[in-house]
Chains A and B, each alone.
Chain A
Amino acid sequence: MPGEILSPQLSYAPAAPMLLVFAAALISVLIEGFAPAARRRGLQIAVSLLGLLSALVATILLAGTEELVFSDAIAVDGPTLFLQGTLAVLGMAGVLLLSERSLDSSGGAVVARASALPGSREDVALAEATEIQTEVYPLALFSLGGMMLFPACNNLLLMFVALEVLSLPLYLMAGLARRRRLLSQEAAVKYFLLGAFASAFFLYGVALLYGYAGSVDLGDVLSATRTTGSNDALLFVGLAMLAVGLLFKVGAVPFQAWTPDVYQGSPTPVTALMAACTKIAAFGAMLRVLYVGFGATGWDWRPMMWGIAILTMGVGAVLAVTQSDVKRMLAYSSVAHTGFILVGVIALSGQGLSGTLFYLLAYGFTTIASFAVVTLVRDSSGEATHLSQWAGLGRKSPLVAGTFAFFLAALAGIPLTSGFMAKFAVFAAGVDGGATALVVVGVVASAVTAFFYARVVVLMFFNEPPPDGPTVAIPSVFTAGTIGLGLAVSVVLGVLPQPFLDLAGRASQFVY
């Protein structure tokens, strides 16, 4: 219908969670521009937290909604709302971590002027300067808004927009570390370059799928796959390209190469936010693409995903064993967890969907809190992330080491922690879906991951502290609150998971 422009049907209420976050992000930009410097930080924290809190309230009020809005471009359904609620809470925790000022002697984990050349005199001065910038808040809010939109997209083009909205601020935030600037900038460049490639693949995939289905709506792709006669090559090449973009974001092998460098180089609060939230958003989008758009062609894409899941679990688990930096170790462990989550995705069933949602919830809270613990262990040059520096931590501060050990146990999937229930949920879905071999690989990989988690526990509790070891900084209520939240969720999901499993179970229905 050339020449005729249909005005889209807009119904704002179901999209409220993300709209609220984007609104908060815009206000936050205005604050950056107009509020007096002295009051900016307080205002930014308040606006960010309020925006995310209102988004959380909105998701709760919307619970049970199942409809397509914005000309069928956005699907507001169980998975969308479940993930948006999770992202809102984790986003608040991330904002709290970014706001922590009592750990670093000069305040904040984020540098005031990221443009300063690493190693230059200005840069050295900045590391100790108490000057702060608050641009990280609008960046974080835009990114979180994009993350909340990402799993809700029923339209591949909008999904691409969401992907960029969530990614671009993250590329910037990765380069903002106050300490070890060069590493941080390297991380930002690496993340940006590889991410741009992945986005390009994604976009190309969208184009091919448009050629196949004549539409970028996931529902139309699904109906096209059900009618024969179309060009299958376009479908499969398009899906493969699309998958590259999504697998890059979740950090699956062979697209995981950025993970350790970016996790290590970014300021740790940003790593925490990125590790927990990006993975949730990207898995949400992947679930929607595979379950809705390609739900009828499971036999075609499952072999590929099998291979990727096995590789991801294996490579993540084995490479994590050789790491000597705690952030890099957590990065490879996140790769292994991506593999475990993929087991649930591959099940292609309601059980697989609810298991995956539950896993994302459990994993997000444990991860954000474990990175929060990493920010506490410091020496004179900032965070002490080398594993040898963690030796004997259990002797010096049993509370912090004990908390970290608990998070490691949760990541390892020891019973009575959230990680166990989550692993059980996806593995049970896997066996039920006929992927027994995959689950056996997952179980073996879990045993390997247990090795390096246990190694850290050995270091912390059974080794003597080095004479000039790091100290554990006393956090303010911001970081302590985040760790406490993570701990509480990890315990509750491990001991009394039923309400949350019910929630994930009720949420496991896509609309299209």
Chain B
Amino acid sequence: MSDSFPWLTVIGLVPLIGAVVLGLLPRTATRLHKSVALVTSLVVLALTIAMCVAFEPGGDRFQFVQAYDWISAFGVQYAVGADGIALVLLALIAVLVPVVILASWNDADAAPPEQQIAAGTEAVGADVASGVAVRPRRRSVRTFFVLVLVLETMMIGVFAATDVFLFYVFFEAMLIPMYFLIGSYGGPRRSYAAMKFLLYSLAGGLLMLAAVIGLYVVSADQGEGTFAFEQLVGLEMSTGVEIALFSGFFIAFAIKAPLFPFHTWLPDAGAEAPVGGAVLLVGILDKVGTFGFLRYCLPLFPEASRILGPYIIVLCVIGILYGALLAMGQKDLKRLISYTSVAHFGFIGLGIFAFTTQGQTGAVLYMVNHGLSTGALFLVAGFLIARGRSRLVPDYSGVAAAAPILAGTFLIAGLSALALPGLSTFISEFLVLIGTFSRYPVAAVLAAIGVILAAIYILLAYQRTMQGPLRLPAGVDKIRDLHLREVMAVAPLLALMIFLGFYPKPLTDVINPAVEATMKDTGRTDPTPTQGRGDAAAPAR
């Protein structure tokens, strides 16, 4: 069945069909909208689990392959397929989307934040001045869930594509639903954040377009012009061309990831996006950047990766330390989490460009674990902010006394973000560090300082908000603990973190062959005699 059944296409289409169905439902049936969205995302989850079962870890590198001519004039194919790396990220999408839908259940119902908090934007101010009563405007619940589902289709497409052109199409098209999610449902400065997000991503994407075209022309010079990934690997080109094309891809991915110094859009977008949007943004969209490094930058341009790798390592280390320092200085809880992500993406980049099997396996694991831990952190922060109507850390104190479950989930998610042993992120961080140490010991040592800083910023934030005497933002009398829906949203993430912390083998079994194939494409070998071939389970034991 696994050979014939078009898993990836079907999984990609289900959310789109769900979005169309949602669009046809009457505007006012909001409960129905939510249910349809949730059911759709659960169907995707079920199908993805079935696909993962059908995946053979020891089989072909790309499985569930389909290829049809799409635009033969450009040699473009609709070609999809999943290797181990793509598979685990697809699984991450399938897990996070239902969680996001459940967690955002009532978010879109609420009036826009500036009307809740009355943070005098121009429009509201003008209305007040002219004496017109400000009527809280309900935002479309239906549109919110349509956007989430369309985004899911795009995200699945971007990881499943094995044709560079198709990848680029999803890579760019993905921006549009996210742009509207931030711009329509975000915080008070949402239109600024949405614009910044769009322009950064689009600028990077267009540079990548130039590189994609360049790649096509290079391939056309050596026979038939193609975008098929497997044919492009090993393409002969001069080092100068290779570096130019590598840079086009790299900058686009570095903006997306985001790597220092291309990260400045993330704190704004992460802070202003609605909580569900922020989870998808940081949890999945940004992974496209690191996924792109691994899937496209390294195998397509091995020579350029080798030459520029050390410089990128420097950027990653700066990102780890700089992100961590800035996270410590943040008062805004969502900005804080965004900056922690900058640090984490530094780790992922480090693992990838260290060119060791351990490092890259660690990096892929890190992508999944970061999606789980930061996703959970954003969700819990969102629950807290929805109760207190303030994003500022100093506004809260002693919440644990009033809302123990909220505080507990925050703590677990936070501990996972700081990579406590026993939680899943520890294994990935450890693998990245030993993978890096064997080639760049100084970078590994510096990055290890980031681990300590992570403990500081997470525990400080926890201590300030959750412990001490109970104090809530002005105008909020009491704080309720998490109710059942919220617990159900966040529980799967915590469970996965703990489970994968003790037993990461299912993931590493799938990731390892794909990483080895990537290493082979780049023509590099591990520097030291490999201990246990980077079998990720080894250090955890």
Whether the Cβ atoms of A431 and B217 lie closer than 8 Å is yes
Contacts of B175 in A (CB 8 A): 414
Partner pick for A458 among B126, B132, B137, B191, CB 8 A cutoff: B191
**Cα A45 to Cα B439 with chains together (Å):** 76
Contacts of A444 in B (CB 8 A): 206
**Cα A427 to Cα B191 with chains together (Å):** 31
Query: B168-215: which have CB < 8 Å to A?
Result: 168-170, 172-173, 175-176, 179-180, 183-184, 190-191, 194-195, 198-199, 202-203, 206-207, 209-210, 213-214
Whether the Cβ atoms of B123 and A415 lie closer than 8 Å is no
Contacts of A502 in B (CB 8 A): 73
The chain B residue sitting closest to A445, CB to CB, is B206
Query: A445-477: which have CB < 8 Å to B?
Result: 446-447, 450-451, 454-455, 457-458, 461-464, 466-467
Contacts of B130 in A (CB 8 A): 467
Q: Does A230 contact B (CB under 8 A)?
A: no
Size category of the B interface is: 35 or more
Contacts of B198 in A (CB 8 A): 450, 454
**Cα A458 to Cα B72 with chains together (Å):** 36
Q: Does A368 contact B (CB under 8 A)?
A: no
Q: Does B339 contact A (CB under 8 A)?
A: no
The minimal Cβ–Cβ distance linking B201 to chain A, given in whole angstroms, is: 10
The minimal Cβ–Cβ distance linking B195 to chain A, given in whole angstroms, is: 6
Query: B300-339: which have CB < 8 Å to A?
Result: none
- Per-residue CB contact flags for chain A residues 221-258 toward chain B (1 = under 8 Å, else 0) read 00000000000000000000000000000000000000
The minimal Cβ–Cβ distance linking A240 to chain B, given in whole angstroms, is: 30
Whether the Cβ atoms of B73 and A416 lie closer than 8 Å is no
Contacts of A454 in B (CB 8 A): 179, 195, 198-199, 202
Whether the Cβ atoms of A409 and B213 lie closer than 8 Å is no
The chain B residue sitting closest to A391, CB to CB, is B123
Whether the Cβ atoms of B199 and A464 lie closer than 8 Å is no
- Given known pairs A428-B216, A450-B202, A498-B72, the reply for A458 and B169 (CB within 8 Å) is no
Whether the Cβ atoms of A443 and B210 lie closer than 8 Å is yes
Whether the Cβ atoms of A428 and B190 lie closer than 8 Å is no
- Per-residue CB contact flags for chain A residues 406-420 toward chain B (1 = under 8 Å, else 0) read 000100101110001
Whether the Cβ atoms of B206 and A446 lie closer than 8 Å is yes
**Cα A441 to Cα B426 with chains together (Å):** 45
Contacts of A505 in B (CB 8 A): 73
- Per-residue CB contact flags for chain B residues 58-99 toward chain A (1 = under 8 Å, else 0) read 000000000001111110000000000000000000000000
Q: Does B127 contact A (CB under 8 A)?
A: yes
Whether the Cβ atoms of A450 and B199 lie closer than 8 Å is yes
The minimal Cβ–Cβ distance linking B244 to chain A, given in whole angstroms, is: 8
Whether the Cβ atoms of A462 and B190 lie closer than 8 Å is yes
Contacts of B184 in A (CB 8 A): 461-462
Partner pick for B71 among A432, A463, A498, CB 8 A cutoff: A498
Contacts of A114 in B (CB 8 A): none
**Cα A443 to Cα B203 with chains together (Å):** 8
Q: Does A403 contact B (CB under 8 A)?
A: no
Contacts of A498 in B (CB 8 A): 69-73
- Per-residue CB contact flags for chain A residues 290-321 toward chain B (1 = under 8 Å, else 0) read 00000000000000000000000000000000
**Cα A169 to Cα B212 with chains together (Å):** 44
Whether the Cβ atoms of B74 and A428 lie closer than 8 Å is yes
**Cα A412 to Cα B69 with chains together (Å):** 26
Whether the Cβ atoms of B210 and A458 lie closer than 8 Å is no
The chain A residue sitting closest to B241, CB to CB, is A436
- The winner among B123, B126, B132, B184 for most chain A CB atoms within 10 A is B123
Query: A272-300: which have CB < 8 Å to B?
Result: none
**Cα A395 to Cα B132 with chains together (Å):** 18
Contacts of B210 in A (CB 8 A): 427, 431, 436, 439-440, 443
**Cα A216 to Cα B191 with chains together (Å):** 57
**Cα A451 to Cα B198 with chains together (Å):** 9
Partner pick for B123 among A416, A420, A463, CB 8 A cutoff: A463
The minimal Cβ–Cβ distance linking A478 to chain B, given in whole angstroms, is: 27
Q: Does B446 contact A (CB under 8 A)?
A: no
**Cα A467 to Cα B135 with chains together (Å):** 12
Q: Does B124 contact A (CB under 8 A)?
A: yes
The chain B residue sitting closest to A436, CB to CB, is B214
The chain B residue sitting closest to A501, CB to CB, is B73
The minimal Cβ–Cβ distance linking B217 to chain A, given in whole angstroms, is: 5
Q: Does B50 contact A (CB under 8 A)?
A: no
- Given known pairs A458-B195, A461-B183, the reply for A427 and B209 (CB within 8 Å) is yes
The chain B residue sitting closest to A468, CB to CB, is B130
Q: Does B220 contact A (CB under 8 A)?
A: yes
Contacts of B209 in A (CB 8 A): 424, 427, 443
The minimal Cβ–Cβ distance linking A408 to chain B, given in whole angstroms, is: 11
Q: Does A497 contact B (CB under 8 A)?
A: yes
- Given known pairs A414-B173, A447-B206, the reply for A461 and B180 (CB within 8 Å) is yes
Whether the Cβ atoms of A462 and B217 lie closer than 8 Å is no
- Given known pairs A431-B213, A432-B220, the reply for A497 and B191 (CB within 8 Å) is no
Contacts of B207 in A (CB 8 A): 443
The minimal Cβ–Cβ distance linking A392 to chain B, given in whole angstroms, is: 8
**Cα A24 to Cα B518 with chains together (Å):** 65
Contacts of A457 in B (CB 8 A): 179, 183
Query: B86-139: which have CB < 8 Å to A?
Result: 123-124, 126-127, 130, 132, 137
Whether the Cβ atoms of B183 and A427 lie closer than 8 Å is no
The minimal Cβ–Cβ distance linking A78 to chain B, given in whole angstroms, is: 15
The chain A residue sitting closest to B182, CB to CB, is A462
Whether the Cβ atoms of A428 and B173 lie closer than 8 Å is no
Whether the Cβ atoms of B220 and A497 lie closer than 8 Å is no
**Cα A367 to Cα B347 with chains together (Å):** 46
- Given known pairs A427-B209, A444-B206, A464-B124, the reply for A455 and B195 (CB within 8 Å) is yes
**Cα A410 to Cα B207 with chains together (Å):** 18
Whether the Cβ atoms of A462 and B206 lie closer than 8 Å is no
Partner pick for A424 among B69, B176, B194, B213, CB 8 A cutoff: B213
Whether the Cβ atoms of B203 and A447 lie closer than 8 Å is yes
The chain A residue sitting closest to B134, CB to CB, is A464
The chain A residue sitting closest to B204, CB to CB, is A447
- Per-residue CB contact flags for chain B residues 404-448 toward chain A (1 = under 8 Å, else 0) read 000000000000000000000000000000000000000000000
Partner pick for A497 among B69, B71, B172, B216, CB 8 A cutoff: B71
Contacts of A458 in B (CB 8 A): 183, 191, 194-195
Complex A-B: 27 CB contacts under 8 Å = A395-B137, A414-B172, A414-B173, A415-B168, A415-B170, A415-B173, A416-B169, A424-B74, A424-B209, A425-B74, A427-B210, A431-B210, A443-B209, A447-B199, A447-B203, A447-B206, A450-B206, A451-B199, A454-B199, A458-B183, A458-B191, A461-B184, A462-B194, A464-B123, A467-B132, A501-B73, A501-B74
Footprint of A on B, CB under 8 Å? Answer: 69-74, 123-124, 126-127, 130, 132, 137, 168-170, 172-173, 175-176, 179-180, 183-184, 190-191, 194-195, 198-199, 202-203, 206-207, 209-210, 213-214, 216-217, 220
Ranked 4 nearest A-B pairs via Cβ: A464-B123, A501-B73, A415-B169, A462-B191
